[in-house]
Amino acid sequence: MPPSFSLNTTTSILLTLLITGCGAPTDQQNQIDYNVNALKVSGGTLINAMTGEPSGLISMIAGESASSAISSNIFNSLLKYDKNLELEGDLTESWQISTDQKTITFKLKHNLKWADNQPLTSADVLFTWQAVTDEKNASPYASDFLLVKKAETPDPQTFRVTYAQAYAPALDSWAGLQILPKHLLEGKDLHTTAFARKPVGSNYYKLDNWKHGEHLMLSRNANSVLGSAQIDSLVTRIIPDNSAQFLELMADNIDLMGLDPIKYSRIIPARPELLKKLALYKELGNSYTYMGFNLKHKPFDDVRVRRAINYAIDKQEIIDGVYLGLGINIASPYKPGTRWSNPALQPYPYDPAKARALLKEAGFTDSNGDGILERDGKPFSFEIITNQNKEREKSAVLIQRRLKEVGIDVRIRAIEWASFISRFIKTGDFDVVVLGWGLGLDPDQYNIWHSSQQAPGQFNFIGYNNPKIDALLEQGRLELNPDKRMVIYHKFAEILLEDSPIIYLSAGYGLTAIHKRVKGIDNPAPPAGIGHNSQDWYIPQALRRNEISTQ
Amino acid sequence: MQTSLIKKALSNPLSLAGFIIIMFVFVLSMLAPVVAPYDPNYIDVKAILLQPSMQHWMGTDGLGRDVLSRMLFGGRISLLVGLVAVGISTAIGILLGALAGFYRGWVDTFIMRIVDVMLSIPSFFLILAVIAFLTPSIINIMIVIGLTSWMGVTRLVRAEFLSLSEREFVMASRTLGAKNARLIFTHLLPNSLTPIIVSSVLGVAGAVLMESGLSFLGLGVQAPQASWGNILTDGKEYIQFAWWLSLFPGLAILITVLGYNLLGEGLRDALDPRSGSNR
Amino acid sequence: MIKYLVKRVLWLIPMLIGISLISFFIMHLAPGDITNNEAAFNPKASEESRQRLREMYHLDKPVIVQYGLWLKRMATLDFGNSFASHQKPVFWQTVDAEGNVTEGMIQQALPITLMINVIGLVITLALAIPLGIIAARKYQGWQDRSITLFNFIGFSIPSFWLSLLLMYWLGVVHNWFPISGLHSLNYDSMDTWHKIKDSFNHLWLPVIIPSITGLAGITLFVKNGMLDVLQQDYITTARAKGLGERKVVYTHALRNALLPLITIVGLSIPGLIGGSVIAETIFAIPGMGKLFYDAVLMRDFPVVMGILTIGSALTLIGNLLADVAYAWADPRVRRGVAKT
């Protein structure tokens, strides 16, 4: 049967539509050469898109990435990370850690002001700490701050916190907490306050206009505590469907979009008309994809089985086939190249022979000759579940094939996220998951690996329980000296690799296309990623969109 | 009567085309294991996103799987969803319609009010909510589509029963003391069969389309199992570039659904050219 | 007539109870305790919202009591607040002590969906009526066949695929229409004329796609209605009297053929609201469909239940209006001769 079986009139009309559709977009902007080096002048509009609308802009309440992506342009924290991922002051000028390592004193910068001209003082910081730890606000970020035994404001410039015992991730946690204005929020219910939709902050931008379900517009904040950003306004459009977003990018209606590996390395590079106006960026994210075992289910409680499966999976194949080479084979749960990542560790090589040997050792043999191993008469068969993420689905399919080769029967199910969490993860009703972890910058991974974190809804849902790991995690939290901490977390990663409760599949790159009209972006990306200096990005006058006709 | 009806329907070129399409698609799907050139799940990471060629008539997808083979196997799933869903809705429809039309009175009123209630709830909302809450799977999808689309059949069967009951041969059997069951199964049901068939044929079209819509929303047949809906959804991201990923499943759905619709409408037309369409 | 009206309105009560039962049942379909079903991956927040949930739905009481209490709240149009962290009212706005208005979620979404669907319906009717008449007059001719084929192609094409093709072709390649969204970014600074033009531009694609898919049903209905009427005695009489064919078709036949259309329009309301999920997702329109879909995925039960109940109630009202209009337009019903 030839593929042209369906060529009747209707389809040929559609074909024509499609083929004519494959030509270059005929927008007038195509003539502009976006590669010019133009003068850095402030002004212009950067249009971004998101698939989901933030539920509010108080990110400690909303607790979702859509919210913090926007609120981080509006609010400051006490500390922030510079381009090399070292901590520096954001609202603070300096900070001091006491000799017993339990007390941190932050000195705020002088003359800080909120966008409404009110002074920003340590009272605001104290208020924010009270808010995040207030039980009634139920902030997802509370746990770090609940460890603070005492918070005080000796003067308007000084904020001091005392922990019951030294807490190494403390500084990182303060870098993540956005400081809120006390004078506008005191006594309000943070969930329902109108402030969440009309925020007043201190950072480079302020919210101008939020059209429900359509877009959020930020413009420069004249009182910005850190000086002035180059671009006048940031617009974030809400476009739920990814394909529609990509169409908007092609039509020049948005300037920035996250890409999947296929768009990044196959589609855009093959299209001269897109390359002419889009610049591609990749940055190694602080995240990885893994295959995790439910350690409470047999036979995954047996380390030989876990190792065997680790040997049986060809990680490089997944990186090449699914991530099109845009991934790194890792051996510890940290971003490669950072000090926390143990360079001495090597990932499990692809070695099916070793896998078979280990499985045999664990008691699995193919007794009935059907190609599937059995133990005690039961075939070795399990289900991999994953959420609807194309890369994860594809990885699971590749894993399925490799495991079949060593005699393990694997079924795959991709489940929509909410069901996935509520039906399978929270109830522990799964065998194996393929998922990803997005991590903070602090090496502490207590929430993920400590045996105390196994209640429904907590992060150690695979049920990992290893006293040695528990001890290291506790130790790591108490140690503030980076070099000593490094030794602890290198050891932690080593044991984890040996024990193989999860199989690292790949540390993936974040891939972004940004319109070439936007200049001043660091390429290649520094450790902190391209976004670290977004306030210095600029759009030369000549390359700006005709703002009247902006769609 | 039935053969003459089919003859009459197939004299209409559109219905004939519909019939041919349905048979063609059906046979191809059934023969999928024989005619598919590759294993639909065979991955070749060195051959991803290949354009249609002599080796791969419909190209390959993001994992280097052969799109033609996936289309053939996906067609089985899509048709299965359509046929089983319609089977369920027809069974419910016949049962409730027969009860309402045969017993009349409060039974009739009660059943018809349920029909009205079901008709007034936006059925796509109902389907979305139920599938999401029960987690999407082929079986859930078939059941839920079936459970939310029986109302039309119920009305049809009821109307047929009501009008048939007035006919002499039924009245005669009744006075001769025929049992209810006998009456229903030998006289009433066989004579209402044609409109039921028509509505089932149209129902398959709706269910296949529904599955593709659910796939678009991430609640259809779940990967890696192929269905036309999820192949199309996978391809929509690259609609302008890897066009073969969306064109073939899109056309397959279009043509198949069109086929069922044309045949169904032709049959309806042949049955009674003046009956209104109630979609 | 009045008696008929009263009867129809009274029927609404058992219907509404039926709808509420189904909505309530659906919420309890979610496995286990509904409080266990939040999408959030956060133990603390979910404990707090669980408590809210338990209070709201009286989960400690027997199911039948839960239903009763819930029904009581529905009756006063109290649909509660969303489970999302913003806790917005589900249905209608609230005003806090300082006069800040928080708009209800359905209040924001419903007008958008209604507007798009009403425009879509008008366009569909404007196309379907002439097409149906042509098809009836040229019954079984090539015009009839091509209209049927064209309509069914529109009906059979997966709408999201058609949407994307048109978005690409008309929005990217030709740049004739905006691709997604409801307004341009600078909408607020436009004068009235440009505002209208801008809205029109943005609505074009989202409106035309449901019209294309909905055309088949209504065209067929008009066609069959016309065929039916054209065979009836009074038309034959009119023809026999020597009236022109044009006059026969457009004055006598059309009026009677279009009457049942009123009912069909009423019946198509739930389909229009339900079908909006896909269109609103793809075109980035914050209407009822998108709201419902998000709520389902987030297990935001108050919103799910609110939309199911209000969507169905709207349909009932739509059907009622259609029936009343039909009764008013059809003298036989007006006189109480015909079926209920």
Burial (0-12, 13-18, 19+ Cβ within 10 Å), C330:
middle
Task: Name every residue whose Cβ is closer than 8 Å to that of residue A302 and which is 6 or more positions away in sequence.
Answer: A362
pLDDT tens, per residue, chain C with 340 residues? 677 778 878 888 888 888 888 888 887 776 555 555 444 444 444 455 566 666 666 666 777 777 888 788 777 777 777 777 777 888 887 777 777 778 888 888 888 888 888 888 888 888 888 888 888 878 778 888 888 888 888 888 888 888 888 888 888 888 788 888 888 888 888 888 888 888 888 888 888 888 888 888 888 888 877 777 777 766 677 777 766 767 777 777 777 777 777 777 777 777 777 768 888 888 888 988 889 988 888 777 888 888 888 888 888 888 888 777 777 776 665 554 444 3
Note the pLDDT of residue A308: 94
DSSP letter assigned to residue A382? E
Segments of chain C assigned E as strands: 94-95, 101-102
Structural tokens at position A460: 């150690």
pLDDT 10s digits, B34-68 = 888 888 888 888 888 888 888 888 888 888 889 89
Q: Least CA distance to B132: which residue of chain A?
A: A419
For residue A217, the model assigns a pLDDT of 92
pLDDT in tens, B136-179: 788 889 999 999 889 888 988 888 888 887 777 777 777 776 67
- Judging contacts by C-beta atoms under 8 Å, the chain C residues touching residue A436 are none
Neighbours of chain C (3+ CB pairs under 8 A): A, B
The percentage of chain B sitting over the pLDDT mark of 90, rounded to a whole number, equals: 15
CA C4 to chain A, closest CA, distance in angstroms equals 43
Contact C294, C285 (CB under 8 A): no
Residue among A6, A394, A418 minimizing CB distance to B62 = A394
Contacts of A413 in chain B (CB under 8 A): 137, 222
Can you tell me the distance from the alpha carbon of B87 to that of B99, in angstroms, rounded to the nearest whole number?
A: 18
Question: CA–CA distance from A287 to each of A122, A175, A336 (Å)?
Answer: 34, 19, 10
Q: What is the pLDDT of residue B276?
A: 42
DSSP assignments along C39-102, one per residue: S---HHHHHHHHHHHHHHHTTTS-HHHHHHHHHHHHHTT---B-SSTT--BSSS-EE-TT--EE
Nearest neighbour of A426 by CB, restricted to C36, C183, C283: C36
Q: Contact A393/B135, CB-based, under 8 Å?
A: no
Q: How far apart are the first and last CA of chain A?
A: 46
> Is the pLDDT assigned to residue B134 strictly greater than 60?
yes
Is the complex ipTM more than 0.90?
no
Residue to mutate among A1, A250, A263, A274, with most B CBs inside 10 A, is A1
Would you list which residues of chain A are within 8 Å, Cβ to Cβ, of chain B? 1-3, 6, 10-11, 14-15, 18, 21-22, 242-243, 246, 250, 260, 262-263, 266-267, 270-271, 317, 320-322, 388, 390, 393-394, 396-398, 400-401, 412-416, 418-419, 423
Mutate to test the interface with A, among B237, B247, B255 (most CBs of A within 10 A): B237
Kindly list the distances between the CA atom of residue A79 and the CA atoms of A71, A86, A186, B216, C44, in Å, as whole numbers in the listed order: 16, 10, 23, 43, 26
**Chain B residues inside the 8 Å CB shell of C320:** none
Residue stretches of chain A with pLDDT short of 70: 1-32, 36-38, 546-551
Radius of gyration of chain A measured on its C-alpha atoms: 26
pLDDT at C59: 66
The confidence score (pLDDT) of residue A497 equals 94
